[in-house]
Amino acid sequence: MDRTLSDKDRQIVFNRDGYRCRYCGTTIPPFHVDHVYPWSHNGETSVENSAVSCQNCNSKKHSSIGMWPKPIGYFEKKSHINLPSMVLFILSIVLLYNSLDTVLNYPSFMLMGKLFGLLGVLSGLIATVVHIRGVDE
Ligand SMILES: [Zn+2]
Domain total of the chain: 2
Distance of CA 46 from the midpoint of ligand 1 (Å)? 20
Q: Is residue 96 part of a domain?
A: yes
CB 89 within 8 A of CB 125: yes
Q: Is residue 1 part of a domain?
A: no
**What is the extent of the structural domain holding 104?**
80-134
- Strands, E assignment, the chain: 31-35, 50-54
Backbone φ and ψ of 94, nearest 5°: -60, -45
Backbone φ and ψ of 106, nearest 5°: -130, 85
Q: Is residue 58 part of a domain?
A: yes
Distance of CA 121 from the midpoint of ligand 1 (Å)? 39
Per-residue tens of pLDDT for the chain, all 137 residues: 688 999 999 999 999 999 999 999 999 999 999 999 999 889 999 999 999 999 999 998 877 778 899 998 888 766 556 777 788 888 888 888 777 666 666 665 566 777 778 888 888 887 777 666 655 44
The domain boundary, picked from 70, 93, 123, lies at 70
Distance of CA 130 from the midpoint of ligand 1 (Å)? 29
Distance of CA 54 from the midpoint of ligand 1 (Å)? 4
